[in-house]
Amino acid sequence: MANAKEITRLLLKQYPDPIIELKFNNPLELLVATILSAQCTDVRVNTVTESLFKNYKTAQSYAKAKLSTFEQEIRPTGFYKNKAKMIIKCCDQIAMDFNGKVPGTIEELTSLAGVGRKTANVILGSAFGKQVMAVDTHVLRVSNRLGLVDSKNPDKIEEALVSQLPGKKLTHINLALILHGRQTCKARKPHCPDCVLHSECEWQDKVAA
């Protein structure tokens, strides 16, 4: 059985002040950036949003965007046609149903176009300061390798991690797990010998230290 307490201690010692790598100034910007980040690197998203956020300041401005123009503005992030439609529809919902303000509950956020539970938790954790666990590919991979979970279902993984990890540090742990997955516990070539969690890892294919 994985030692969640020790894993938390070691993880937060390695990443004492983890932050999301997407750049944003408010919940709306983070929402747009998170939708754009699907199948795209945060670095590329940040490059695109640097100019995008200057052109669109409110949910209403996104909702009124010309689709063909908006598609070209976000094209470098990939899957731009789908993302453009989702962002415009999502922001139209925010403008119409939430008085132009990004809502602050999981139920309200997941009612928006293009917003699943992971995206909603990203917003809640990094824009609203709530303690949540957003399960992306990195969290899924790292938590399974560590033995904290044994599932490929994001909802079940979220539930299992929330039940094991300290509630007051959930978002910090979440961001640390993501950073660890990106920097050390990579999908194809994990840096097991350099991993601070090597002694706690139950992954049978880990490389010996």
DSSP state of 113: T
DSSP state of 194: G
Among 89, 136, 155, 189, the active-site one is 136
* CB-based contact 100:60 (threshold 8 Å): yes
- CA dist 167 and 163 (Å) reads 8
Among 118, 155, 186, 206, the active-site one is 118
Backbone angles phi, psi at 206, to 5 degrees: -65, 150
Is 136 tagged catalytic?
Answer: yes
Q: Map residue 97 onto helix, strand or coil.
A: helix
73: left (phi over 0), alpha (psi -120 to 50) or beta: alpha
* CB-based contact 104:128 (threshold 8 Å): yes
Active-site annotation, residues: 118, 136
